[in-house]
Copies of this chain bind each other. A is one copy, B any other.
Amino acid sequence: MSDYTPPKVWQPKESGGQFASINRPEAGARFEQELPVGKHPLQLYSMGTPNGVKVTILLEELLAAGVSGAEYDAFFISIMDGDQFGSGFVDINPNSKIPALVDRSVEPHQPVFESGAILLYLAEKFDRFLGKNRAETLSWLMWQMGSAPFVGGGFGHFYAYAPEKYEYPIDRYTMETKRQLDVLDKRLANNEFICGDEYTIADMAIFPWYGSLVLNRAYDAAEFLNAQQYTNVLRWANQLDAREPVKRGIRVNTTWGDHPVKERHGAEDLD
């Protein structure tokens, strides 16, 4: 049994394992720092985490489809070094999380934050990848936004990052992660993509989190999760993973993996 009794009023103490130096109970800028600006209409400030690569996959898909106006500069925001707490970043995303986008093709320049909002903003701007049934695409996009915190902030944290292996939270978040994978597995049993026969931003949102789990690219947890039981998710993940724009997108704003591209300012950086 736990022998901990919460105090009347919580007081902060160092917490968060390897992220301890980053996490604080206060929001807002911690230092002054302007953001760099490149030459393209779209300026992305990000890192190649699952939430980051959602956006670079979409941008690479748009460019591969010949959409003009989708050219972008992708600047690296090192979340381990606290770049997200610089004043310039906080100005465009007061929540201090990657990814954040500024669309400089409109006046005034439009900031957008939260990966799901950026996906929807860009898909609407260029009228691509929204699917035939808009409500269905929105439902699955929102499903990803509301579900993945149990995978990343829950399962991943307690399985891989927390300073100790705590049994109860690991059990809690493993069960939920497997339930979510089973939701997807049942969905993909009779659908080529999340929204039927059309590839949409819902796939691009879901792949970096759940595809990474079944392809064993996240937390080294595929065996623990018995990921191979989700055969339909695996089939779909491999299908997306074979797409050239996906291969390009997942390299952007990384300093790890095969052929990392820390910053991207033109197609040649990825070619």
Which one of B120, B159, B166, B178 lies within 8 Å of A138 (CB-CB)?
B120
We find that the number of chain A residues with CB closer than 8 angstroms to chain B is 78
Residue in B closest to A16 when the chains form the complex, CB atoms = B172
Which one of B6, B13, B158 lies within 8 Å of A165 (CB-CB)?
B6
Pair B113/A165 contact, Cβ less than 8 Å: no
The B-contacting residues of A in range 91-143, CB under 8 angstroms, are 93-95, 103, 110-117, 120-121, 133, 135-136, 138-139, 141-143
**Interface flag for A64 (CB, 8 Å):** no
Residues of B contacting A4 with CB < 8 Å?
165-167, 170
Tell me the bound Cα distance from A79 to B129 in angstroms. 34
Chain A positions within 8 Å of B, measured between CB atoms, are 1-2, 4-10, 12-13, 15-16, 23-28, 93-95, 103, 110-117, 120-121, 133, 135-136, 138-139, 141-143, 145-150, 153-154, 157-159, 162-172, 174-176, 178-180, 182-183, 185-187, 223-226
